[in-house]
Amino acid sequence: MPPPEVQRAVEQMAKQVIALDAATAARLIEEYATVYARLQRDALRLLNLAKRQELKPWQVMRLERYRALESQFLSSTVRFSRAAGGIITESQRAAVGLSIRGAPLTANAGLPAGITLDNLANVGISWNRLPEEAFEAFVGVSGDGAPIGNLLSELGPKASADIKATIRAGIAIGEGPRATADKIRRVAGMDLSRALTISRTETLRAHREATRLNYAANSDIVKGYRRHAAQDEATCMACIALDGTLYELNEPLDSHPNCRCAMLPETIDYKDLGLDVPDATPLPTARDWFAKQSPARQSKMMGARRFDAYKKGKIDLPDLVTIKSDPVWGKSATVKSVKALGV
């Protein structure tokens, strides 16, 4: 089992990745504000015109101003999705850079007390540093035809269609222009929300995959890795249940959207080095942390019906997990529905 020092090193690295995600989110929000400000202003002008002249939806749709605005809807939303793709790709590259620098630090922290990478280098076991080019397979995956690129490309047309539908519905029911404009802002905001989810998910995934490949390139030092879930209320119960699971180096972490799980390196130990020394005390897991929480907090995290079944001994934490497989995105760990649990 990894020593306590490695948990601190991995959590310190995780803080840097989360800070990177926050900076990327700020850039996406700024881009969104720039792109959508004019769109919302022009939509409000059209709504005011329709209100003053008491126009029906079909009459509004015949206006030259409406047709121009339709074109603007699509171009604005597509512009945002393309800009988001570039911003997310930059974030992925930065996350890979953090991994290249951080993987040897976390591996070093995972070695038994008194053993360091420098010690190992002295006996011919050196850390193999991979070039950034080795990670291009999952950096820049927001390009045309790539999975993330496809997700982002869907944002523009959908947001455009939703905005047009909101305008027509607002005019049809005689809603005030500003009330409809507020709805447009909320609908367009879903575009931003989806982009932020994609950004966080793929920035963290890029960091994890780069870390895994770094570990795999040094399999004479790192034997595998363990899942490390954040010990707080925002962590999903699937990650809580799987915390501490040992993965092989050729096995990507089965994460999910917004997953914050990190990877604790399982390094060579005293026994591997031919030394008869007891291993470090195992680290407490997220399951141990969850067991210490109040019933109210446990219920909030699990959901009332799951918690009731858990409290009565009908289910245990591992029962909550289901692993789904997708031909594009690979395996993902999610929480079983109440129906699937039969509770």
Question: CA 208 to CA 262: how far, in whole Å?
Answer: 7
Report the chain's mean pLDDT, rounded to a whole number.
86
Is 8 among the domain residues? yes
Task: For residue 245, give both structure tokens.
Answer: 């699971």
Q: How many CA atoms lie within 13 A of 140 on its CB side?
A: 6
Task: Identify the bridge partners of residue 222 per DSSP, sorted by sequence position.
Answer: 267
Is 151 among the domain residues? yes
- Cβ–Cβ < 8 Å for 214, 130: yes
Q: Which domain holds residue 208?
A: 4-227
Is 246 among the domain residues? no
Task: Identify the bridge partners of residue 262 per DSSP, sorted by sequence position.
Answer: 228
Is 128 among the domain residues? yes
Question: CA 121 to CA 137: how far, in whole Å?
Answer: 30
User: Model confidence over 264-310: pLDDT tens digits?
Assistant: 999 998 888 788 777 667 778 999 999 999 999 999 999 999 999 99
Question: CA 92 to CA 148: how far, in whole Å?
Answer: 12
Q: What's the mean pLDDT in 5-28?
A: 93
Is 161 among the domain residues? yes
Q: Does position 142 have pLDDT exceeding 70, yes or no? A: no
Is 275 among the domain residues? no
User: Model confidence over 209-266: pLDDT tens digits?
Assistant: 999 999 999 999 999 999 999 999 999 999 999 999 999 999 999 999 899 999 999 9
Is 144 among the domain residues? yes
For CA atoms 127, 279, 109, 22, the dihedral sign is: positive
Q: Per the structure, how many domains does the chain have?
A: 1
Question: CA 78 to CA 154: how far, in whole Å?
Answer: 9
Is 257 among the domain residues? no
